[in-house]
Amino acid sequence: MTEASARKRKVLIIDDDPDVLEYASVVFSDCGFDLMIRRPGEDLVAKLNQLPDLIVVDLLMPSEDGIQVLHNMAKADVKCPVLVVSMCSEEVLRSARAVAQMLNFEVLGFLRKPFYKEDVLRLTSSLRREEQGTAELRRLVNSGRIVNHYQPVVDVQRGRVIRLEALSRFHHPKSGIIAPMEFLRWSRRLRITAALERRLTKQALDDAKRIEEKGFRLPMSVNLSTETLEQPDFADRMEKLCRQQRFLLSQLTIEISENDLHRNLIPVQSNLTRLALRGCSVSLEYGGEVFSKMQLENLPLAEVKLTPSLVRDCIKDDSRRNLLISVVNHADVLDIPVTAIGVESPEELGLLLDLGLTRFQGHFFCEDKQFEGALYYLHRAPEQLAELGLAGPPSRASSIRP
């Protein structure tokens, strides 16, 4: 048994209700946690200095509410997952999650009173996986199991692939392909994200040149984190890398998610603007969780990508549908192309076509594939789009206003 799997994780429970503290202590103890309790008036920093693995905080506390606690933890430079206890509305919870993300906390989920052992185990299962995953990633980081997959972006109006996106994938020898967000959390915990992204970006540019030699000259997108984008010399290094790989900077798109962008906005936006000045494109993956649509105007964007969750929510949630429509219309006013990603079903595609979108990415068209698989798809893409009846102007496209 490894040291990581043998030790008990520490949870810091923050609440001002003695009954809730007693109840939560019993539940988390039953779940295998070592308990740390912060009662009203006790020094928060002293508790944080004991390095908990998880923090549980109630949103609604008379003396100091949960949002204030999050801000105070951020001032103490705490990097720890959070569970939020609340009976608030969904709108308040969404806002609280956005605040926590902007303060650089990972929110594992929300607990509603009364919560039970099964609820805690379900929401904290990722902590154990993360401990095991980082150990495995440390062992396998140079094994060749971390590679690029490629997924096409198709324009159904033009009937062809217009770009490839490089997606880093960790092929675990037993568990298969690790979910991207888990892989990113593991690499951040090991502080190797920037080094991995440098290596995978170089590989993406190499593969773009190989694809060009096969007759397909396509732009390439790479996903980069704030750990990479905030580095002072990033823009110069990226330009130098493109020059060394004989790849035009104007053919490169840097993609970043809104959840990542806010973490260190000023240096990241500065580097993205410097690269945009030199011809590089910038794409924002947008789900309406952190950024407002008005903030899109302040970024040097060549594209807005609608997240899969936003698209799927729209099928069953009118308020989310209205947000999507509003973003699409706002991007149209700003003359920023919109691409919908994660499209998996005819229902999702139909909704997006009705909004007038023509650029898509997702399993409905093509799964992400390693080099040879992506190259094979490029050969048959026009035929596949024609079979789907999507090679030409979408007949169902219309202008919809909320």
**At which of 68, 100, 126 does a domain end?**
126
pLDDT at 343: 92
Q: Is residue 268 part of a domain?
A: yes
Contact 364, 343 (CB under 8 A): yes
Domain containing residue 263: 141-387
> Among residues 126, 151, 177, which one ends one of the domains?
126
End-to-end Cα spacing for the chain: 57
Residue type, 354: D
CATH number of the domain at 33, please. 3.40.50.2300
> pLDDT tens digits for 9-44?
889 888 888 888 888 888 988 888 888 888 777 888
Total number of domains in the chain:
2
> Has residue 13 been placed in a domain?
yes
pLDDT in tens, 150-161: 999 999 988 899
Task: Give the residue, 141 or 63, on which the prediction is more confident.
Answer: 141
More confident residue, 241 or 23: 241
- φ and ψ of 97, to 5 deg: -60, -40
- Which candidate, 320, 387, 388, 389, places its Cα nearest to that of 351? 320
241 & 368 share domain: yes
Domain shared by 115 and 156, yes or no: no
Please state, in angstroms and rounded to a whole number, the distance separating the CA atoms of residues 223 and 283.
9
Q: Determine the pLDDT at residue 132.
A: 75
Q: Estimate the crossing angle of helix 193-213 against helix 371-387, to 10 degrees.
A: 60
| 136 in a structural domain | no
**How many distinct helices (H) and strands (E) make up the chain?**
16, 14
| Residue from 306, 283, 287 nearest 223 by CA | 283
User: Residues 113, 186: one domain?
Assistant: no
Residue 177 covered by a domain: yes
If asked whether residues 325 and 183 sit together in one domain, one would say yes
Q: Cα–Cα–Cα angle for 363, 365, 370, nearest 5°? A: 65
Q: Based on the fold, state whether residues 81 and 150 are members of the same structural domain.
A: no
* Last residue in a domain, options 80, 102, 126: 126
Asked whether residue 150 falls in the same domain as residue 197, the answer is: yes
Are 43 and 189 members of one domain?
A: no
In a domain, 402, yes or no: no
Average pLDDT over residues 114-125: 84
176 and 310 assigned to the same domain? yes
Whether 400 is covered by a domain: the verdict is no
What is the phi/psi pair of residue 276, to 5°? Answer: -60, -35
**Across 7-21, 153-167, 301-315, least confident range:** 7-21
Domain membership of residue 398 (yes or no) is no
Give the whole-angstrom CA distance, residue 325 versus residue 328.
5
Overall average pLDDT of the 87-95 stretch:
81
Distance (Å) of CA 271 to CA 245, 254, 260? 21, 11, 14
The pLDDT value recorded for residue 263 is: 66
The larger pLDDT score, comparing residue 109 to residue 274, is at: 274
Q: What is the mean pLDDT of residues 305-325?
A: 84
Contact 362, 341 (CB under 8 A): yes
Pull the structure tokens for residue 82: 């959070």
Pair of tokens at residue 57: 């905080």
Do residues 151 and 93 both lie within one domain?
Answer: no
Residues 255 and 153 in one domain: yes
Is residue 93 a contact partner of residue 84, using CB atoms and an 8 Å limit?
yes
- Assign residue 242 the CATH number of its domain: 3.20.20.450
Rounded to two decimals, the pTM is 0.74
pLDDT band at 98 (very low <50, low <70, confident <90, very high): confident
Please check whether residues 240 and 122 belong to one and the same domain: no
In a domain, 399, yes or no: no
Say if residues 332 and 321 touch (Cβ distance below 8 Å): no
